[in-house]
Structure 1
């Protein structure tokens, strides 16, 4: 398991990324905070500094969520993503699973990197899930 987590954490560094990826983020904008699930059809795009171009690929709550509790969010497209994560402590460590009804994803602890910004704040990736 540790080897798998280490390999998964190196994929973005090596430029070898999964086609489909979810990023579980916490966002802070203008004094408020909330959580999002971002769906990228190509995980390399999550390093562009931009949110997914298609707004149907963003699922947003009005508050911050505890990612270590099971969560469910329905995107504008009607696709529902469910997550079931544990409290992985180190970057790249396996944290649990997610599903969108079409794919199952393995999820890993992310570094908290800024995934995108706007003028009043940013969203940080706490977990990433690869199909």
Structure 2
């Protein structure tokens, strides 16, 4: 779903994340005055692959990506499967492909609360598996 404006994107993303049982992603592109948000889901409880699909086939070409956000249900922490799969290796690969750093956040609602929290994480905080480094290279400075 393509949404104009960061505030509109935030409202829709938080609503969907708090009223469904699947992960939703939001990719913010453009600048803060002329922004577009892409809201995605692959309709799965434990992962959100549609945002990566959109990145691979559209957003890495001609868009300035500022931020990627997706929700988690059980923990506000980024996932990491020994550096091979999960939030850290994905953020690492995206930044290597783009050639610049972007913000990465997890949207999380505490149990019994509809108040959203955002946990920002950095691709450099967890070392990816060597296969990821071999495939994508080193992070930009």
Scaled by the length of structure 2, the TM-score of the pair is: 0.30
Q: Larger relative CO (CA 8 A, sep 6+): 1 or 2? A: 1
More strand by share: 1
Scaled by the length of structure 1, the TM-score of the pair is: 0.31
Structure number with bigger Rg: 2
More helix by share: 2
